[in-house]
Each structure stands twice: as structure tokens, then as C-alpha cells.
């Protein structure tokens, strides 16, 4: 890939690829499905192992003197806070004859404002009968306290009005005395003074009557508030349904576990930076994806997937056999995260090549996938990597190795001077894929293709770098001239620049 094209691609690359993120999260469905199932079971188990204690509820209608149609619930919230005071709790315990501390009783009940004047009280206890008794005592204590506060407020207001009235009466007595001490005369100034006294007497008389009326209204309003504050719903035990509680808790646990699993999968995907799309893997390795196959499972494959898996493996075997057959240099299969699948692919390719020439497999895998397997009739011989140089070469060799972390890079040329990388999607990080490409370029081992194991079935990206580097990210590999049938160097046809399809992000030759 040219420098300008690489710079343009890097400049246009988003900070977080949503398509890759969705694919990676979907591939980690075992994680979030397991957490969702764990939340489901935990919620159901919590409902069974820790059932709610016996609970009783009651409703109290609370009348306020300051009630307004546009009240936002301030008054009922005040009543809820007053319900949670030790004064009301201690009076309720006194009516029950209990020696429990009010501070401990506060933890067993709570109030909720349903409307501006309706208060719901919930009380828990050891039994249903005890819960109902406590709820009744608590509601009665709250009503008595509310009534007492209303009466004290009305009494204080009436006394203040009557005190104002008495002061007005004393002043009226003084005004009447001043009028009685004046003798009628023709003095204009005296006449004006008498008229002001009469006006003052009339004003005082009116205000005294007003204070009397207001004091009477304050006294009359209190019985209405007292009668309006009452228990409208007698204490009753709350019926508990275990299946319903288990189903509710299970659904809540399922949702919470699913959300937590999806969040962990998304965060882990972004932090780990493990490419899963063909386009990303091909770009990081600098080589084209030439085949895809499902991961070879050690368990039996379901019947509905057996035919497609067999067809994909047949196509991949034919592709790799053709690449190995047309190459004049030894070819190796280097795995990353799929040692078992790579060993199976190597055996399939070796069986396909053995029909024409003798083939032996050079096993450089760290595990016992090839070296300790049971030999079947007709299978090609397997030679370990340490003994490959000591034994005489018989026919074509197909090397199988690994580029996982901890690989001995200098031993890879023994397996083959050209390689096909067999990479499991989502296994290696982008940094390690860059490391693999760089190390292979330093060793002079060109990557002739990438086989993607366990790809995403909905991946629609293009993983073919037609105009990219054919070996690794550091630079193009200079291949030695291949000999034709006459012994002369064969002329290689120059590569043709890619032709881009309009309105498409894929490239075609």
C-alpha cells in the first residue's frame, strides 16, 4: 500500500469503529449471556432465600390549613419527614407497651406521599398480626400528633387575635373618655379635634369586630381540620406471592446482568484492541485473506452445520494445496490462537498433496496436536522441528508452527521460507499482529496469504489488499527470481494497480 493511501486511510479511520465494536461484542456473547443467566438465577434465588418480612400498610388522610390546589407536595413531604421522627415512634411504642428503642423502630417503617393529602405507611415486623398492630399504633400516633399541632396552632392564632382585640378595646376606652371630657363649643379647632376622635372611635370599633370575627374563624376552622385528618384504610397485611417475586427479581437480575455483560464486553473490546474484521486483520498483517473456515471443534458438530463446514474445509484445502504446489519454496502454516485447527488444516493439505508427491509434515507447534496424535493409515509422516534438519528430505515438506507470544522467531525458517498465517479472528491484538508482520519481514519470510479461523458470519468487509504490501508492514519483500523450464530466470509480471468500484469501499482487480 502506498504512503499516501496509508495516510489517507489512517486520517479517515474513526476513533472507535462501531461495526468492529458490534461484531466484537457479538462474538463475546458467551460473556454477556453468562452474566445475564447468572443475574437471572441470582434474582430468583434471592427471592427464595430472602423473602420479604411480614408487612402491613395503612393510609392516612391528612388535612392541612395551608392546602392549595397548586401545591407541589411540600406539605405531604413534611408529613413524611415528621413521621420518621423519634417523637412519633416513641408514642406509637408507648401505645403498644413495647420497650423497643424508637431509633430501632424507625428502621422498620417508612411513609410515602401518594397525593398532596394521602399518606401511605408501611411497617414490617416478625408476624402479620404484629405488623398490623404496629401500623395502627403508628397511624394513630401520627394523627394525634397532627391534630395536636393543628389545635395548638389555631389556639395560638386565636389568642394573638384576641390580644390585639383587647388592646384595641383599651384604646377605645381612652378615646371615649377623651370625647366625654370635651365640651361642645364653637371653636373651629375644637370641632376638628372632636371629629378626629369620632373617626378614631369608629375605626377602633370596626377593627375590634374584625378581630373577633377572625378569632372565631380560627376556632371554627380547627374542628374541620381535626375531622379531615383520619385513617381512611385500616391496617392490613400485604400478601406475598413467591412465584411473582421470583419472576420479578429474575427479570431484574436478567436485565442487570445483560447490561453489565454488554458493558464489560464493549469496554474489554476497546481496551484489548483485538481485530475481528477481515479488513482490519488484513491491514495489520499486510497480507490478503485467502480463505475462511470455522474453528475445528473437539466436540461433535451439529448436523445442520456439518455440510457447510465440510464444504468450507474442502475449498480451503484446495486453495492451500494449489498455493503450496505452485510455490518453488517450502511453505509453512503458522498459527495464532488456533493450533488444533491449524493441525487439522495441515493434515488435509498434506493428504491432498500426497496424491501427487511424497509429503512430510514438519511439526513446530508447541503442543501435542501433531506429534502425539494417533497415526492413521495413509497419513503423511510427521517430523518434529528439531529433527527436520537431521533427517533426509523425502519429497515436499509442509511446516506447521506458531507465531503466538513466546515464539522462537529464528526457528521459523526451518519450517518454510514462505508462510500462510492461520489466524483466529479476535484472538491477537493489533499490536501483536504488527509484531508478527514485522518479525516475518525481518526474517525474509513473505506472507502469501492469511486464513481466517472462526470469522464473523456477518462480516461484509473486504480483506483483500490488492494494492497493498504483499509481505509485511515494513516494506515489500524482494523474492528471488524463479526458474522456468529452460533454467532461465522467469519474468514476473508487474502488479496492476487496483481499480476501485464507485460508491463502494471494496476493491477489485
What is the reported pLDDT for 183? Answer: 58
* φ, ψ dihedrals at 292, nearest 5°: -135, 145
Q: Cell triple for residue 337?
A: 490462537
pLDDT band at 493 (very low <50, low <70, confident <90, very high): very low
Return the percentage of the chain with pLDDT > 90, whole number: 27
Q: Are 315 and 347 in contact (CB under 8 A)?
A: no
Higher pLDDT, 324 or 88: 88
Give the integer Cα–Cα distance in Å for 298 and 338: 12
Q: Which domains does the chain have, with CATH numbers?
A: 26-51+243-269 (no CATH), 55-239 (no CATH), 275-478+492-508 (3.40.50)
Residue 202, SS3 per DSSP: helix
Q: Are 52 and 245 in contact (CB under 8 A)?
A: yes
Q: Are 436 and 406 in contact (CB under 8 A)?
A: no
Give the integer Cα–Cα distance in Å for 96 and 139: 12
Give the integer Cα–Cα distance in Å for 345 and 313: 8
pLDDT at 282 over 70: yes
Q: What angle do CA 150, 152, 158 make, to 5 degrees?
A: 100
According to DSSP, the β-strands at 447-453 and 289-293 are parallel
Residue with cell 419527614: 81
What is the reported pLDDT for 498? Answer: 36
pLDDT band at 41 (very low <50, low <70, confident <90, very high): very high
Summarize the confidence of residues 322-330 as an average pLDDT: 84
Q: Are 383 and 360 in contact (CB under 8 A)?
A: yes
What is the reported pLDDT for 301? Answer: 58
Summarize the confidence of residues 126-140 as an average pLDDT: 93
Average pLDDT over the chain reads: 80
* Partners of residue 384 on adjacent β-strands: 363
**Helix boundaries (H) for 327-453:** 339-354, 412-415, 430-443
Give the integer Cα–Cα distance in Å for 398 and 415: 7
Q: Which of 209-223, 278-292, 326-340 has the lowest mean pLDDT?
A: 209-223
- Nearest in space to 420 (alpha carbons), one of 406, 399, 404: 399
* Strands of the sheet with 55-61, listed across from one edge: 109-113, 118-124, 55-61, 230-237
What is the reported pLDDT for 43? Answer: 92
pLDDT at 29 over 90: no
Q: Are 414 and 384 in contact (CB under 8 A)?
A: no
Cα 38 to chain centroid, rounded: 15
* Partners of residue 423 on adjacent β-strands: 336, 452
In 3-state terms the chain splits into helix, strand, coil percentages (rounded to 5) of: 50, 15, 35
Sort 57 into a burial class: Cβ within 10 Å, 0-12 / 13-18 / 19+. Answer: middle
Give the integer Cα–Cα distance in Å for 15 and 138: 60
Give the integer Cα–Cα distance in Å for 304 and 72: 63
What is the reported pLDDT for 70? Answer: 74
* φ, ψ dihedrals at 3, nearest 5°: -65, -40
Tell me the CB-side half-sphere exposure of residue 38, using CA atoms within 13 A: 11
According to DSSP, the β-strands at 109-113 and 118-124 are antiparallel
H helix and E strand count, the chain:
14, 13
What is the reported pLDDT for 2? Answer: 42
pLDDT tens for 79-107 read 999 999 999 999 999 999 989 999 999 99
pLDDT tens for 304-314 read 667 777 888 88
Give how far Cα 425 sits from Cα of 27, 279, 290, Å.
10, 11, 14
Q: Are 400 and 342 in contact (CB under 8 A)?
A: yes
Summarize the confidence of residues 452-467 as an average pLDDT: 75
pLDDT tens for 163-199 read 888 888 888 888 788 777 765 555 566 677 777 878 8
- Nearest in space to 468 (alpha carbons), one of 330, 277, 289: 289
pLDDT at 499 over 70: no
Summarize the confidence of residues 245-271 as an average pLDDT: 91
Helix axis angle, 86-96 to 128-181, nearest 10° = 120
**Long-range pairs, 313-320, Cβ under 8 A, ≥24:** 313/345, 313/348, 315/291, 316/291, 316/292, 316/345, 316/348, 316/451, 317/345, 317/348, 317/349, 317/352, 318/352, 319/290, 319/291, 320/291, 320/345, 320/349, 320/420, 320/451
Give the integer Cα–Cα distance in Å for 338 and 466: 26
Amino acid at each position: 500500500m502506498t504512503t499516501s493511501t496509508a495516510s489517507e486511510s489512517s486520517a479517515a479511520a474513526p476513533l472507535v469503529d462501531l461495526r468492529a465494536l458490534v461484531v466484537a461484542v457479538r462474538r463475546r456473547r458467551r460473556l454477556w449471556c453468562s452474566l445475564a443467566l447468572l443475574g437471572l438465577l441470582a434474582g430468583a434465588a434471592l427471592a427464595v432465600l430472602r423473602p420479604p418480612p411480614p408487612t402491613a400498610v395503612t393510609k392516612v388522610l391528612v388535612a392541612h390549613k395551608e392546602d392549595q390546589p397548586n401545591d407541589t407536595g411540600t406539605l405531604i413531604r413534611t408529613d413524611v419527614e415528621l413521621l420518621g421522627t423519634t417523637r412519633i415512634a416513641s408514642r406509637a411504642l408507648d401505645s403498644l407497651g413495647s420497650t423497643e428503642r424508637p431509633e430501632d423502630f424507625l428502621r422498620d417503617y417508612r411513609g410515602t406521599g401518594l397525593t398532596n393529602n394521602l399518606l401511605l405507611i408501611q411497617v414490617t415486623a416478625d408476624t402479620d398480626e404484629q405488623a398490623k398492630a404496629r401500623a395502627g399504633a403508628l397511624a394513630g400516633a401520627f394523627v394525634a400528633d397532627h391534630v395536636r399541632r393543628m389545635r395548638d396552632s389555631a389556639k395560638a392564632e386565636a389568642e394573638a387575635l384576641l390580644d390585639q382585640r383587647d388592646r384595641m378595646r383599651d384604646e377605645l376606652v381612652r378615646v371615649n373618655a377623651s370625647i366625654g371630657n370635651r365640651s361642645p363649643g364653637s371653636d373651629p379647632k375644637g370641632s376638628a379635634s372632636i371629629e378626629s376622635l369620632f373617626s378614631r372611635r369608629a375605626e377602633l370599633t370596626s377593627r375590634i369586630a374584625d378581630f373577633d370575627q377572625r378569632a372565631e374563624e380560627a376556632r371554627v376552622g380547627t374542628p374541620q381540620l381535626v375531622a379531615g385528618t383520619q385513617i381512611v384504610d385500616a391496617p392490613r397485611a400485604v400478601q406475598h406471592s413467591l412465584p411473582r417475586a421470583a419472576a420479578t427479581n429474575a427479570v431484574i437480575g436478567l436485565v442487570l446482568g445483560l447490561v453489565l455483560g454488554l458493558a464489560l464486553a464493549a469496554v474489554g473490546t476497546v481496551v484489548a484492541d483485538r481485530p475481528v474484521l477481515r479488513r482490519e486483520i488484513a491491514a495489520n498483517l499486510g497480507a490478503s485473506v485467502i480463505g475462511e473456515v470455522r474453528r475445528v471443534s473437539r466436540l461433535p458438530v451439529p448436523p445442520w452445520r456439518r455440510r457447510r463446514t465440510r464444504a468450507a474445509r474442502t475449498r480451503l484445502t484446495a486453495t492451500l494445496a494449489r498455493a503450496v504446489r505452485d510455490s518453488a519454496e517450502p511453505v509453512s502454516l503458522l498459527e495464532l490462537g488456533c493450533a488444533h485447527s491449524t493441525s487439522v488444516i495441515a493434515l488435509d493439505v498434506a493428504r491432498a498433496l500426497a496424491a501427487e508427491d511424497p509429503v512430510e509434515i514438519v511439526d513446530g507447534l508447541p503442543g501435542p496436536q501433531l506429534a502425539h496424535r494417533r497415526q492413521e493409515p495413509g497419513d503423511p509422516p510427521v517430523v518434529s522441528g528439531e529433527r527436520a534438519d537431521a533427517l533426509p528430505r523425502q519429497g515436499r515438506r509442509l511446516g506447521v508452527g506458531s507465531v503466538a507470544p513466546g515464539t522462537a522467531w529464528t526457528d521459523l525458517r526451518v519450517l518454510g521460507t514462505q508462510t500462510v498465517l492461520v489466524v483466529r479472528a479476535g484472538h491477537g491484538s493489533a499490536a501483536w499482529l504488527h509484531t508478527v508482520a514485522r518479525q516475518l519481514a525481518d526474517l525474509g519470510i513473505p506472507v502469501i496469504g492469511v486464513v481466517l479461523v472462526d470469522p464473523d458470519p456477518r462480516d461484509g468487509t473486504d480483506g483483500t489488499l490488492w494494492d497493498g504490501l504483499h509481505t509485511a508492514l515494513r516494506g515489500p519483500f524482494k523474492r528471488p527470481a524463479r526458474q522456468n523450464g529452460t533454467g532461465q530466470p522467469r519474468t514476473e509480471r508487474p502488479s496492476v494497480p487496483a481499480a476501485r468500484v464507485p460508491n463502494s469501499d471494496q476493491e477489485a482487480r
